[in-house]
Every structure is written in structure tokens, then in C-alpha cells.
Structure 1
């Protein structure tokens, strides 16, 4: 049985918001399904990507970046550290602080994840017309602005 959710009308801002939420959610689920290591939670994966992108961070800075409470970040870091994907070290300027950095194994996992997801998305994009790709190029800029606000 094929039950598809009807697409809301996009003539209003509220309708566009609903349609965009559903489309982005479906795409996010499809991309998550491409993860090479599905044993990582989404929070753990997000922390690995943040460390790969931004370098060493304090647990507090990670918690702020990921919009989670410090005790939750402590649990995420501990789980990643137990798997050898991150390591903690003393902060060079403040002995009361620690820094968290991604390990080589964590970096390999992030690279494999990115490669697999981008390959899947590249195959999907190849199915589109040039006009659709141009629309997506522009939409990508807009979505990035929305995500930063």
C-alpha cells in the first residue's frame, strides 16, 4: 500500500514552511540512511563532524555549538572516547579546562561518512535536469542563510 503524505500548498509562508520541513526531513532521513556506522547516535556523529570541521574544542564550547546541556555533552564525549574516536587533553592556557579533539580513527569515520553521503546525493543529482540543478544551487544558498539565522 502506497500512502504518501499530501504536499501542503506552498502559496502561503505557512504552507511553504510545512512543505520545506517535510522535504528537508525526508532528505535528511535518506542521507542518514547512508551512514557507514549507524551505531553512532546522531548527537555523536554531529560532535565528530563539528570537531573535524572546527578542530579542538572545550566540552562547554561543544555543548554550546550542538545546543545541548553540558551533562549531555559529557556523555557524548565519553561514548566517543570509549570508541577511540575522540581524546581529551589539558587546555594549554587553562589547566582547569580540557580540550576534545578528533582522533585519526574519528577522522577516517567522518571522511567515509561524507564520501558515502555525497556519492549517494551525486547519483540523485545526476537524475535532474540542468534547470533543476540551477534551482537547487540557488536554494542551497538560501537554506544555508536560513540555517544561520
Structure 2
């Protein structure tokens, strides 16, 4: 439960409060893995194509991403971040890192050591 609460608290640290968690997830994913088609985004986010289309439309209207026609298949469009989308991701990461940094700074060395060990255990669990 503590992991979920920490994740929720971190998600609250964002550069743009108008964006939903799902919208931010799309922006973060595009930043991490590059351009995708709508179908690829829907699959990666585990949502339906129509649902992803609504998300992409909203993000496109806000100027955070753009659709580029596919050069080989004119029925497809490749979705990529704009500079504004990249900035939202970078600014959100900065805010989250700053929040974590301040929280960790308040801990003593022994508690930070325990967290480092717990992080290693969680990483191993997640990869099994």
C-alpha cells in the first residue's frame, strides 16, 4: 500500500495539472520510446484504439503532440511529441525529482540505506 501511496504522491507532482495520468503516460512513453502509431500507443497503454484516439486528439489540440503521415502507408499516422510535449515531460520529471530529493534529504543515512535496499528488492520482484 505504501508503494501505491508514494506513486500517487509522485504523480501529483506535474508540470501541467490539466493533464490526466493517462495523457501524461502517453507523453512519457513517446519521450522514452519515440514515435508510435495510434495502434501501437493503444497496445502499449492497454486501452482500445478509440480511447487512445480521444487521448491523442486532446493532446494534439493542446499542442503536445502531432501526427505525421506515414511515408509507406498513407492510412497510418505516426504520433510524435512536439517541443511543448517534450517540455511538459522534462518539467514534470524535474518537479518529481525535486520533490523526492527534498524528501530523501530529510531522512537520516540509515533510512536512506534501507530505502536503497528496498528499491533493489522491488526491482528484482518487478523483473521476475
* TM superposition score normalised by structure 2: 0.90
Deviation of 1:130 after TM superposition, in Å, equals: 2.5
Deviations 1:60-89 (A, max 9, x none): 111111111111100000000000000001
Q: Is residue 80 from structure 1 mapped to residue 59 from structure 2 by the alignment?
A: yes
Query: Equivalents in 1 of 2:81, 2:19: separation in Å?
Result: 15
- The structure with the larger Rg is 1
Q: Is residue 28 from structure 1 mapped to residue 7 from structure 2 by the alignment?
A: yes
Match of 1:140 in 2: 119
Change (3 A) 1:72 1:127: same
Q: Is residue 46 from structure 1 mapped to residue 9 from structure 2 by the alignment?
A: no
What secondary structure is seen at the aligned counterpart in 2 of 1:87? strand
Change (3 A) 1:125 1:45: same
Deviation of 1:48 after TM superposition, in Å, equals: 0.4
Deviation of 1:36 after TM superposition, in Å, equals: 2.3
- Structure 2 residue runs of 5 or longer lacking an equivalent are none
Moved more, 28-37 or 129-138: 129-138
Structure of greater relative contact order (alpha carbons < 8 Å, 6+ residues apart):
2
Moved more, 132-141 or 28-37: 132-141
Runs of 4+ with deviation above 6 angstroms: none
Change (3 A) 1:98 1:144: farther
RMSD of aligned alpha carbons = 1.6
Deviation of 1:146 after TM superposition, in Å, equals: 4.1
* TM superposition score normalised by structure 1: 0.78
Match of 2:44 in 1: 65
Match of 1:8 in 2: none
In the alignment of these two chains, the number of paired residues is 128
Match of 1:104 in 2: 83
